Amino acid sequence: MTGRRITGPPPQGVDEAIAYQVECTPPATAVIGVTVYDETDAGADVTATVMPAGTASISGGNITLPLLQDLTAEHLYRVEAQYSDGTSILEPYFLVKAYR
């Protein structure tokens, strides 16, 4: 997944737990934060519920996110990964559609 708005939304089953990888251009040197919003629920911040454990990591300039899990069927989630490339702060995002 590259760029500012990452194509999608990829589907994810409510019983799945997926560690998404964000391909960063320019490459990431530090992860500032990861936030997940439930767009179906007025954009509520649900990070603590759907990414309850782990931290994002960097490998080869790309970011691997903690597991995204415990989603609600038919909800649309916006996942934002804010990072620094050593000069600028960038925040690519992607959408995930949950299904049964």
> Which token pair is 64?
């691997």
What is the count of structural domains for the chain?
A: 1
CATH number, residue 60: 2.60.40.1220
In a domain, 6, yes or no: no
Q: Considering only CA atoms, which of 21, 13, 33 is closest in space to residue 74? A: 13
In a domain, 63, yes or no: yes
Token pair 């708005």 is at which residue?
5
Dump pLDDT digits (tens) for 43-69: 999 999 999 999 999 999 999 999 999
In a domain, 2, yes or no: no
In a domain, 3, yes or no: no
In a domain, 64, yes or no: yes
Band (pLDDT 50/70/90 cuts) for residue 2 is very low
Question: What span, in angstroms and rounded, lies between the C-alpha atoms of 73 and 20?
Answer: 19
Dump pLDDT digits (tens) for 10-46: 899 999 999 999 999 999 999 999 999 999 999 999 9
Dihedral sign, Cα of residue 46, residue 67, residue 64, residue 58: positive
CB 56 within 8 A of CB 22: no
Question: What span, in angstroms and rounded, lies between the C-alpha atoms of 81 and 43?
Answer: 16
Domain carrying residue 33 = 11-99
